[in-house]
């Protein structure tokens, strides 16, 4: 459970725990008939496909995955918004707090070729990359902004200001935060269907791809069926 998948410039996802397998889904569904499989058969695979296709989701909530995630705050808050909106699928969330810790801050800084333009037809999302010179200027300005915020933060701490107030000097949205996310297999699949979509924020798509890799390793049949495009 120590494999890490790196995301963005400094982020990562680590799978810390798993309960269950594709077989857990099958046996949860068949308990109504007092039946149990000891190993996954072709019939069991057909049952998983049926459950996913027909929207019978409760058996997928009897398996869980736990992740440690290190992501920029803008990604973590979008992830959290999804959690609040789908708590019926069984989730838990615990996050490090700068009220209590003063670890070295880390920030997401896009490279010059990673800055994106505003979309033409919507108020959210992003479009094509901006010109390289514009991107270069943005990277330099962001680095200078972060450097100033860190300096003011460290000065406040050195003068005895409490961590929960000193953090006000830190630029928020790009600052990395570490958290644990525990979710049912159904919830993980719902997250993937939402955040692998082409119109979701690019940065959270990268985290979703890493989650999908971990989930598919542990639940290959269920994930294949649950995140199929719905026609």
Q: Which of 53, 116, 195, 212 is catalytic?
A: 195
Query: Quick one: CA dihedral 202, 203, 206, 211, positive or negative?
Result: negative
CATH class given for the domain over 4-99+176-226: alpha beta
- Cβ burial of 221 (10 Å; 0-12, 13-18, 19+) is buried
Q: What residue ranges do the domains of the chain occupy? A: 4-99+176-226, 112-169
pLDDT of 148-203, one tens digit each?
Answer: 999 999 999 899 998 888 888 988 889 899 999 999 999 999 899 989 988 888 99
pLDDT of 9-55, one tens digit each?
Answer: 999 999 999 999 999 999 999 887 667 778 899 999 999 999 999 98
Distance (Å, whole) CA 24 – CA 36: 10
Catalytic, 195? Answer yes
**Continuous H helices in 38-122:** 42-54, 73-85
């Amino acid at each position: 459970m120590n494999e890490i998948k790196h995301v963005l410039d400094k982020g990562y996802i680590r799978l810390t725990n798993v309960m269950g397998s594709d077989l857990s889904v099958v046996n949860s569904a068949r308990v109504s008939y007092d039946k149990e499989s000891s190993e996954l058969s072709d019939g069991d695979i057909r049952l998983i496909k049926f459950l996913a296709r027909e929207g019978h989701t409760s058996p997928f909530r009897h398996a869980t995955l736990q992740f440690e995630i290190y992501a920029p705050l803008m990604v973590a808050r979008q992830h959290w918004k999804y959690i609040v909106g789908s708590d019926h699928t069984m989730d838990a969330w615990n996050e490090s707090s700068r009220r209590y810790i003063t670890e070295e801050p880390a920030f997401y800084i896009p490279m010059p070729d990673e800055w994106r333009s505003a979309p033409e037809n919507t108020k959210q999302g992003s479009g094509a990359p901006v010109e390289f010179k514009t991107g270069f200027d943005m990277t330099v300005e962001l680095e200078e902004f972060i450097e100033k915020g860190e300096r003011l933060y460290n000065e406040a701490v050195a003068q005895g200001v409490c961590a929960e107030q000193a953090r006000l000097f830190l630029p928020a949205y790009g600052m990395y935060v570490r958290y644990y996310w525990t979710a049912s297999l159904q919830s993980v699949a719902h997250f993937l269907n939402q955040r692998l979509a082409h119109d979701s924020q690019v940065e959270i798509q990268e985290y979703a791809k890493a989650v999908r890799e971990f989930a598919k390793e542990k639940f290959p049949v269920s994930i294949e069926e649950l995140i199929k495009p719905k026609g």
